[in-house]
């Protein structure tokens, strides 16, 4: 039986081919995500180590150096751009404000380094396109961690194999209390359109249901509608303290999504098909146990907790090792820049739809 097979092999690395090897990373940006999530994930990874840290904050650099086994070099952004310590790393992990991805990705490409860049790939469509063009001679992957989450990979396989019939609708939500979550003022960059791009919430949170729906459906958006508004003073420069949007995909499926930076911490993803439904909940925010539930046409319900209790850490370790597996073997990898550009076009369309009140086609 399909479900039981998946249950047994839920956490297998369906992508791993590398026998051994190590990819050395320069960490570009030392915000809380790098320090709290990426570094522990790299330390848990089989094929990765962090050797260089890039930051203009001596305090953060010293903290990271003290806590990270193999990391012995810290440099400033300017030194990084100038190629200092380039012989000490093979790849970069870029985790800066969105509008800083382009210059550091371009520098990494100049130095001939593979790039793992956080999502969204940049602040605007134009800058994202420039990033992809500028880095075309090196491997580029965008850090959509849900795509290396084993349960999400099983959802995609189950859907492809017809476990829920033809997909009909998707529901996705991601919400958190940004102002409570973020304890350090530099992270308030999400509220600054110069650094975040089109907005604070759909760019940062709405992208999760959008991209994960694309991945599990194996389909791309064709048009969107959206509503959004900000009410608190902290959100006055961005249009989307709270947002709702619909997406029509090229297979006819609709997604109904919401995102909020001022809501109870909660995430869900649900796919309803003609013959069943798949639900992943809670999700997106690292909560555990993350349960995958399949209800199928015969009334049978299978609920799968795969045992992980550090979901963020596991997703990130999988992501780093997958990236290393592909880069070290010199094989194509994804989600790549072209994949990320589809999200950027969709994000731009969502903000345009909300601003104009018109359904917007994805070009």
Closer residue to a second copy in complex, CB, 54/219: 219
Closer residue to a second copy in complex, CB, 116/247: 247
Query: Quick check: 231 binds a second copy (CB under 8 A)?
Result: yes
Calculate the dihedral angle through the C-alpha atoms of 212, 218, 220, 224, rounding to the nearest 10 degrees: -50
State the minimum distance, in angstroms, from the CB of residue 257 to a second copy. Answer: 6
Query: Quick check: 297 binds a second copy (CB under 8 A)?
Result: yes
Query: Quick check: 275 binds a second copy (CB under 8 A)?
Result: yes
Can you give 22-68 as a three-state secondary structure string? CEEEEEECCCHHHHHHHHHHHHHCCCEEEEEEECCCHHHHHHHHHHC
Instruction: Using CB under 8 A, pick the residue from 243, 311, 316, 348 that binds a second copy.
Output: 243
Binding-site string for a second copy from residue 168 to residue 207, where x marks contact by CB under 8 A and - marks none = xx-x-x-x-x------------------------------
Instruction: Using CB under 8 A, pick the residue from 25, 104, 189, 245 that binds a second copy.
Output: 245
Name the pairing type of β-strands 242-249 and 254-260.
Answer: antiparallel
Query: Quick check: 289 binds a second copy (CB under 8 A)?
Result: no
Query: Quick check: 302 binds a second copy (CB under 8 A)?
Result: no
Query: Quick check: 268 binds a second copy (CB under 8 A)?
Result: yes
Q: Give the C-alpha separation, 111 to 128, whole Å.
A: 20
Question: Residue 33's CB: how many other CB atoms inside 10 A?
Answer: 16
Cβ distance 182 to 120 under 8 Å?
no
- What the block records as the tokens of 255 is 């997604």
Element containing residue 115 per DSSP (H, E): strand 114-117
Q: Which residue is it, tokens 């070290």? A: 328
E-state strands within 178-306: 221-229, 242-249, 254-260, 262-273, 276-281, 291-296, 301-305
Instruction: Using CB under 8 A, pick the residue from 132, 263, 327, 341 that binds a second copy.
Output: 263
Query: Quick check: 165 binds a second copy (CB under 8 A)?
Result: yes
Interface residue list for a second copy (CB under 8 A): 164-165, 168-169, 171, 173, 175, 177, 223, 225-227, 229, 231, 242-246, 248, 252, 254-258, 260, 262-264, 266, 268, 270, 272-277, 295, 297, 353, 357-359
């Amino acid at each position: 039986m399909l479900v039981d097979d998946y249950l047994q092999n839920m956490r297998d690395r369906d992508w791993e081919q590398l026998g051994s090897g190590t990819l050395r990373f320069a960490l570009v940006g030392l915000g809380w995500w790098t320090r709290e999530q990426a570094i522990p994930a790299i330390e848990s990874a089989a094929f990765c180590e962090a050797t260089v840290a890039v930051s203009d904050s001596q305090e953060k650099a010293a903290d990271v150096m003290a806590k990270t086994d193999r990391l012995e070099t810290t440099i400033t952004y300017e030194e990084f751009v100038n190629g200092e310590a380039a012989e000490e790393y093979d790849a970069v992990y870029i985790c800066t404000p969105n509008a800083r991805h382009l210059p550091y990705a371009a520098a990494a490409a100049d130095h001939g380094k593979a790039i793992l860049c956080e999502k969204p790939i940049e602040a605007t469509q134009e800058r994202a396109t420039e990033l992809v063009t500028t880095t075309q001679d090196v491997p580029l992957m965008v850090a959509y961690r849900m795509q290396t989450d084993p349960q999400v990979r099983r959802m995609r396989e189950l859907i492809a194999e017809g476990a829920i019939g033809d997909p009909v609708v998707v529901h996705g939500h991601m919400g958190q209390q940004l102002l409570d979550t973020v304890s350090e003022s530099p992270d308030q960059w999400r509220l600054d359109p110069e650094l975040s791009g089109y907005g604070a919430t759909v760019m940062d949170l709405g992208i999760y249901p959008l991209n994960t729906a694309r991945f599990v459906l194996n389909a791309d958006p064709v048009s969107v509608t959206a509503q959004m508004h900000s009410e608190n003073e902290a959100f006055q420069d961005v249009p989307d303290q709270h947002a709702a949007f619909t997406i029509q995909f090229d297979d006819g499926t609709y997604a109904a999504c919401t995102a909020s930076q001022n809501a109870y911490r909660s995430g869900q993803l649900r796919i309803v098909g003609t013959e069943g439904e798949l639900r992943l909940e809670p999700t997106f925010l690292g909560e555990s146990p993350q349960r995958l539930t399949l209800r199928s046409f015969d009334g049978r319900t299978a609920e799968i907790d795969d045992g992980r209790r550090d979901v963020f850490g596991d997703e990130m370790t999988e992501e780093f090792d997958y990236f290393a597996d592909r880069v070290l073997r010199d094989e194509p990898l994804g989600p790549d820049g072209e994949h990320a550009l589809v999200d950027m076009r969709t994000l731009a369309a969502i903000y345009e739809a909300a601003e104009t009140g018109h359904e917007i086609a994805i070009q």
